[in-house]
Amino acid sequence: MNFTFFSFVTQSKGFEKDIEVKPTLDGIRNKKDELLEKAIEIIQKQ
């Protein structure tokens, strides 16, 4: 069974990324959530 979201097949595919953010070693060492920080930054710009 495939689930759809606005007629797009999402099961086993997911969504394409608009912005790719990867955690860094420095961020991991400093216990920073760089993915969350980037998401907040993008939301605040809107």
Reported as a single tens digit per residue, the pLDDT across 8-29 is 555 666 667 788 899 999 999 9
DSSP 30-43: TT--HHHHHHHHHH
Sorted by sequence, the CB contacts under 8 Å of residue 24 that are 6+ apart come out as: 34
Task: Provide the residue type at 4 as one letter.
Answer: T
Give the pLDDT confidence score for residue 46 in this predicted structure: 87
State the Cα angle at 19 between 36 and 38, rounded to 5°.
25
Q: Kindly report the CA angle at 34 between 36 and 12, in degrees rounded to 5?
A: 60
Decide which of 34 and 15 is more confident. Answer: 34
Q: Whole-structure pTM over 0.85, yes or no?
A: no
DSSP 13: T
